[in-house]
Amino acid sequence: MPAMLPDFSLRARNSFGFEVLAEQAYSITDAEQIGAVMEAIESAGLPWRVLGGGSNVVLPPTLSGATLLMDIAGQAISQQDECGTVVSVGAGVNWHDFVIWTLDQSLPGLENLALIPGTVGAAPIQNIGAYGVEVGGNIQSIEAYDCHSKTMVTLPASECAFTYRNSIFKAHPKRYIITRVHFYLPAAWSPRLRYADLAAAFANRHAPTAEEVMVAVCKIRNHKLPDPKLIGNAGSFFQNPIVENAQYLALLKQFPELVSYPEGDEREGKRKLAAGWMIDHCGLKGKRDGAVGVYQHQALVLVNHGGGNADSVLALAKTIQDKVQDTFGVALLIEPIRY
């Protein structure tokens, strides 16, 4: 069992850079450690949570109880044939580092998801996605500690309930502790350039390689999103809302420049609206409220200019939600996990 770390600073483990102390922290470097740690936590009747890189969370000044720091490392090819490759990855591996590693191994498929902050273990929880790709589409199975049965289990992707920014792990946050993810990367590959920014990057050019797609994705993200090392943020703070086609058409009449994207099967009659465009339209891009604000280059991102905390950023988020609701009649859902 790993040592308990009292009053452990989490400033470096949350990308907002908030000053946060964990009353008790445990660095989990092996899945076999979890059973003993959970037994100790349950015996003491403590609240608990798992923290990876802290890139998609809003943390209060003090995290009571126990915090499991997911630090399981390592990635390796576990199976390979002419159809594709299975890669096994520890939950504590940095996501972007892993994407680079796959391309170094000539295993394309995840390049559209480059530069998304966080860890591999956190990626399935939110079913991270960008530029027309969701991580759930390349997950074969997930190893996890089942807090109900108190055993290690392997869940095939079909049992993970992956949907837009959601999964069984997000819906039931106290059920599973992800320790390892198995990805399937098909040998057949073609670039996915559906989104306008990527399509524009390769307009009138040859079909790009996976490496070229990754470079373009990184360039686009760096232009739009602030580096958490320079200014605290948790990436996109709101989900792009999905509405019925009838509501979308009504909004389009009122707001002809409304930005939207197809959602799922066109027969389902749904449309995904660009939350950033709606926030910008409300005149909130660049808004500052004390130590926190809306990023000047991307209205979907809330930032900590220094000295902010969970209460201040959530108060700003509520102001934005209310304004968008009043203007468009659409509810914005907060993407980061709140404790």
Q: Which residues are catalytic, by number?
A: 165, 236, 335
From residue 175, give the alpha-carbon distance in Å to each of 95, 153, 298. Answer: 23, 11, 35
Q: Tell me how crowded residue 302 is: count the other CB atoms within 10 A of its CB.
A: 30
The residues near 50 (Cβ < 8 Å, ≥ 6 apart) are 67, 68, 70, 121, 177, 178
Do 179 and 143 meet the contact criterion of CB atoms below 8 Å apart? Answer: yes
At a CB cut-off of 8 Å and minimum separation 6, what does 40 contact?
A: 1
| Tokens coding 300 | 């979907």
What torsion, rounded to 10 degrees, do the Cα atoms 118, 120, 126, 127 define? 130
Contacts for 107 with CB less than 8 Å, ≥ 6 apart: 77, 85, 87, 185
Task: Give the C-alpha separation, 171 to 140, whole Å.
Answer: 20
